[in-house]
């Protein structure tokens, strides 16, 4: 959100006014992790001694990751930040600051007729509410005119040196766990796509308002409880495959042990994606509580040796044991592409 003379937008005054507007909203709180926020050429972040920096970036594009006609602006803002925070959570890091670059068609920045707030105001309502919940200041970014809406989020986190939770730490004999429940986002997205009215939104919460598991990631890291972790953005089948690939192990799980969100199907839970729960492994002797910071933890299965370095994931159900292929992103491809 720096005032750069070379910034590529045809609405220069509009851009400056918008940035001032955002800056005023953000400067109401000043967390200790931020020495200098929006307004200078760079933000200055404050880390604690012995910490290293965790950085993640996520691009959300209209008609790929969200639809203006389907998703409320507040939910798009929330989800934009939630995707980044979920990656920070998966590393066991604490969030330090967020940087947001927006490309927007001009009409989304102007107040709607008979209303005081624009699409952008409402996007920021959702974004800043989640940011404040996780003590994550918006410390900078950019704003440009664009034919379609897109939001690029950069999240900075901090974690004690050498203590980050990695995908590569799982070992044969480890047990496999997941936070919360799965499939809720995919099931809600199907309901949302079918619905002409968006009035009843309570059953859409897992899709519209996913809750990044920051507290759970921090708990696992502080207690040295997890050997590996990943957040479930692409679906259990795909993200478990990623974890096994990085750790060079195989895994097995059982359909009855998968915590399926009420109203979702096993298929939603396995392949739906965008649940933003944490999938993690722990040594069998490590005591994992049934719930961490109010979120249920479920034992999903176990980690085994990989044959020829090729991860093999086995799902047991009523009809026996089957290979579980990573195919999370293929579903709902009509309205979104593979989330990164």
Is residue 142 close enough to count as binding Mg ion by CB under 5 A? no
Is residue 231 close enough to count as binding Mg ion by CB under 5 A? yes
Q: Where are the beta strands (DSSP E) in the chain?
A: 34-36, 44-45, 51-61, 94-104, 138-145, 150-160, 175-179, 228-231, 249-254, 278-282, 291-292, 295-305, 313-317, 320-323
Which residue's CB is nearer to Mg ion, number 15 or number 87? 87
Is residue 87 close enough to count as binding Mg ion by CB under 5 A? yes
Give the span between the Cα atoms of 20 and 11, in whole angstroms.
14
Give the span between the Cα atoms of 20 and 27, in whole angstroms.
10
The piece of 87-95, 136-144, 255-263, 284-292 that touches Mg ion (CB under 5 A) is 87-95
The piece of 42-50, 57-65, 79-87, 122-130 that touches Mg ion (CB under 5 A) is 79-87
Token pair of 157, please? 């986190």
For the CB of residue 165, give the shortest distance to Mg ion in the complex, in Å. Answer: 11
Which residue's CB is nearer to Mg ion, number 87 or number 275? 87
Residues 6+ apart with CB under 8 A from 105: 145, 146, 147, 148, 149
Give the span between the Cα atoms of 137 and 139, in whole angstroms.
6
Pairing of strands 94-104, 138-145: parallel
Which residue's CB is nearer to Mg ion, number 231 or number 275? 231
For the CB of residue 338, give the shortest distance to Mg ion in the complex, in Å. Answer: 13
Is residue 58 close enough to count as binding Mg ion by CB under 5 A? no
The piece of 73-81, 86-94, 248-256, 321-329 that touches Mg ion (CB under 5 A) is 86-94
Give the span between the Cα atoms of 184 and 260, in whole angstroms.
8
For the CB of residue 171, give the shortest distance to Mg ion in the complex, in Å. Answer: 21
For the CB of residue 56, give the shortest distance to Mg ion in the complex, in Å. Answer: 7
Distances (CA, A) of 223 to 132, 162, 267, 287, 307: 25, 14, 33, 10, 31
Residues 6+ apart with CB under 8 A from 41: 2
Under rule CB under 5 A, how many of the chain's residues touch Mg ion? 2
The piece of 42-50, 227-235, 247-255, 294-302 that touches Mg ion (CB under 5 A) is 227-235
Which residue's CB is nearer to Mg ion, number 19 or number 178? 178
Which residue's CB is nearer to Mg ion, number 144 or number 154? 154
Contact residues for Mg ion, defined by CB under 5 A: 87, 231
């Amino acid at each position: 959100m720096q005032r750069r003379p070379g910034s590529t937008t045809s609405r220069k005054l509009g851009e400056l006014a918008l940035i001032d507007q955002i800056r005023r909203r953000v400067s109401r709180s000043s967390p200790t992790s931020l020495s200098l926020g929006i307004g200078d050429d760079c933000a200055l972040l404050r880390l604690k001694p012995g910490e290293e920096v965790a950085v993640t970036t996520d691009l959300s594009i209209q008609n790929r990751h969200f639809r203006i006609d389907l998703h409320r602006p507040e939910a798009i803002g929330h989800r934009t930040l939630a995707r980044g925070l979920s990656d920070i959570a998966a590393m066991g890091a604490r969030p330090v600051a967020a940087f947001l670059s927006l490309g927007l068609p001009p009409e989304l920045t102007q107040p709607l007729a008979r209303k005081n707030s624009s699409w952008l105001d409402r996007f920021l309502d959702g974004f800043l509410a989640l940011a404040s919940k996780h003590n994550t200041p918006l410390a900078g970014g950019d704003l440009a005119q664009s034919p379609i809406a897109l939001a690029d989020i950069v999240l900075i986190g901090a974690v004690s040196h050498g203590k980050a939770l990695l995908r590569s730490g799982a070992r044969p004999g480890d047990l496999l766990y997941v936070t919360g429940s799965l499939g809720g986002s995919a099931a809600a997205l199907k309901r949302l796509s079918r619905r002409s009215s968006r009035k009843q939104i309570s059953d859409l919460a897992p899709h519209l308002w996913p809750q990044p598991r920051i507290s759970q990631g921090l708990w696992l890291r502080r207690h040295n409880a997890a050997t590996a972790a990943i957040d479930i953005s692409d679906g259990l089948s795909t993200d478990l495959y990623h974890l096994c690939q990085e750790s060079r192990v195989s895994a097995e799980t059982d359909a009855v042990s998968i915590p399926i969100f009420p109203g979702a199907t096993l298929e939603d839970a396995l392949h739906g994606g965008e649940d933003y729960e944490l999938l993690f492994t722990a040594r069998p002797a490590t005591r994992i509580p049934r719930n961490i910071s109010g979120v249920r933890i479920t034992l999903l299965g176990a980690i085994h040796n990989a044959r020829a370095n090729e991860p093999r994931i086995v799902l047991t159900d009523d009809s026996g044991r089957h290979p579980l292929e990573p195919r999370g992103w293929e579903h709902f491809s009509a309205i979104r592409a593979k989330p990164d």
